Amino acid sequence: MTTHPIATVHGYPRQGPGRELKRATEAYWAGHATAADLLATAAKLRRDVWQQLAATGIGEIPSNHFSLYDHVLDAAFMLGAVPPRHRAAAPADARPGTPEHMLAVYFAAARGTADVAPLEMTKWFDTNYHYLVPELGPDTVFRADPGKPLTEFAEAKLLGHTTRPVLLGPISFLLLSKPHADAPAGFQPLTLLDRLLPVYAEILADLRAVGAEWVQLDEPALVQDRTPAELDATARAYRDLTALTSRPRLLVASYFDALGEALPVLARTAVEGLALDFTGPAAANLPALASLGGLPGKRLVAGVVDGRNIWTAHLEQALATSATLLGLANHVDIAPSCSLLHVPLDATAERDLDPQVRRWLAFARQKTDEVVTLARGLAEGRDTIAPQLAANRAARDSRATSTLTHDPAVRARCAAVRPEDARRTTPYTERATAQHARLGLPALPTTTIGSFPQTADLRTARAELRAGRIDAAGYRERMAAEIREVIAFQEKTGLDVLVHGEPERNDMVQYFAEQLTGFLTTRHGWVQSYGTRYVRPPVIAGDVSRPHPMTIDWYRCAQDLTDRPVKGMLTGPVTMLAWSFVRDDQPLADTVRQVALALRDEVTDLEAAGAAVVQVDEPALRETLPLRRTAHASYLAWATEAFSLTTSGVRADTQIHTHMCYAEFGDILSAIDDLDADVISLEAARSAMAVAAELATAGYPREAGPGVYDIHSPRVPTTEEITGLLRTALAHLPAERLWVNPDCGLKTRHWAEVRPALENLVAAARAVRATLATPDGGR
């Protein structure tokens, strides 16, 4: 370790500049590439990142942050915590120890197979990334399998880089896991800590043996509210790991929020370094560290550049914070606040953006430049980076004074909102009666969440429109043809409430962002959501309004084809924020209110066009919940108000649906009630209908559709499986308030899976409906 500050990063985007990893992985899944092909592509991407980081001036390069699918899944494999059903899923001709066998087991855990369910997937803290949840029980036997971190360390060493391997720490691994299906009630994975620590000790010894000087153990779970028992377990874990005689120096990393009560616990351990976030709410780490007396004798990696947003950093403020930290640790290095996994690769690739706007943006490559600049300024003095500080100041001033960022009309409309504008005027019980009379649906009505498969033909049509090979009229006809096919399939299958399938939508957020003022969209700003699913989050750069209707023509196109109700489909205001890169120059509550008012206009227009059902999706409501309970109430207040402001302008007989997926809902059930939606659909298939019990326990009074078809797996659920899930749901929720639907939209699935899955869904609903005491289930 050098004596002067250096720049480092916690991790880097995995996909490659042309999403090479996605293409190679999907080619392997489709049988168009071999295991060797996929692994060679992955190795080249790793090499390219290491070389690029070194060329930028990153003084300590990480390794083992790369993943073929998910880093938590990688940790489960490293620790031998792979469910038996996945170990048994490899083809008979794949010999154990071969790449083919390893990948078969790995992707069975990630995606499932025709016969084997995958691991559950949920949100990585309050980010837009999803991780796979390890399954543990009292019978779990951990075994060290450090092949991946050892291989990647060796690959980098051949290039001349002694890297810092990054591992998920033992406390966070256990806290992020869940009991497996056969675990006894009340089992807590953290009770396996004493069994797990010797496996970590073995892996650390192996890394030291090959030359690793530092190893980073990520403990992001410690920034959440933790119990005294969990903090005691943390102290014990790092007491035991630092007592090892053969190990690298340990850097324990946290991010996304302040460590709070975990900071003194870690500071008292013998770990050689801590990596702390000093951005956003985690800025509270600075006074907490000062009141603690700093970290004498330890290394501090200071996350002073926001690793989750895409705005250029305030370099002068970051430099001042870094200078203050110099007096609080034995050695200070500079880093982004977290892994750069959460931002796109390179802002300079966005040539379609106004050059002035591009100056405001910092993607992964620009953030590495920023931390290198800050480390140099801290080491050599402010004057050595004067040109960079001046350019940074000019970019920030340009943004602050731009006409793009402020619209007086939008601000006046927001200021005029009254509390009653965010409330429906008719109580739910009266609305339900009016809606049932208008819709005339059977018991256990069936529907889907919104999107149908985005086929190659649809993607080709969009590409041809962008390239000018077809005109707008030709594009509309292709989309209309797809809508006709989707409506015909739903009618033939017997679904009760239909959707138009969203063929015209490239993404549920980007589609609207492209039509709302104040949003910017990128061409190359891809960010990993999970596995090979990448999204291009829009950028909210200015005040938001709706210049024209966005969905009305497509809704009419579909509704004119059928006598059954077709849902109007919108993305909600909180999700529009959560799945975008949001402006950081005003409170989130102000921005979300602007979006809500724009969407309110669209809801009103859909109702005027004849929509009896309007769905406003809020899958991000739970995932955006602050990590600390003390911040929950203020967030939920503005989030629920935004949804209500969007939907409260409709008549009593217009049914408002919402949808949420892939998060833990138990701690926001009161807020879900506050949304006052008439129907909510929720992910439930992978969690065995747990949310149905949670809704019942909370006394949720409205209609709900806990999902019965896991759409993130290629598996086609059988009629019997869906029937079983419905009966489980009916044990908790009355038939008159239960809907039948998939977990989520079907965009990422293929028609060959969707057709039989939905046919089975309808068959299951009919079979269970036939067993009810009354034909209409009390509706």
Residue 633 has a CB neighbour count (10 Å cut-off) of 10
State in Å, rounded, how far the first CA of the chain is from the last one: 70
Among candidate residues 71, 180, 712, 732, the one labeled active-site is: 712
Q: Identify the burial level of 388 via C-beta atoms within 10 angstroms of its C-beta, where 0-12 means exposed, 13-18 middle and 19 or more buried.
A: middle
Cα dihedral sign, 24-535-711-137: positive
Alpha helices per DSSP H over 14-145: 20-29, 35-56, 71-78, 84-87, 99-111
Bridge partners, 301 (sequence order)? 275, 333
Residue 323 CA to chain centroid, in angstroms? Answer: 34
Q: Measured between alpha carbons, how far is residue 262 from residues 159, 167, 193, 393 in Å?
A: 37, 19, 17, 36
Q: Which token pair is 716?
A: 């086609």
The residue among 700, 634, 708, 711 whose CA lies nearest residue 669 is: 700
597/643 Cα distance (integer angstroms) = 10
Bridge partners, 251 (sequence order)? 216, 273
299/271 Cα distance (integer angstroms) = 9
511: CB partners within 8 A, 6+ apart: 502, 504, 505, 550, 571
Alpha helices per DSSP H over 57-146: 71-78, 84-87, 99-111
Task: Say how many CA atoms lie within 13 Å of 281 toward its Cβ.
Answer: 18
Task: Say how many CA atoms lie within 13 Å of 299 toward its Cβ.
Answer: 23
**Residue 347: what are its φ and ψ, rounded to 5°?**
-70, -25
The residue among 37, 41, 177, 67 whose CA lies nearest residue 530 is: 67
In eight-state DSSP terms, residue 337 is: S
Concerning whether 342 is annotated as a catalytic residue, the answer is: no
Beta strands at 568-571 and 613-617: parallel, antiparallel or unpaired? parallel
Which residues belong to the active site?
712
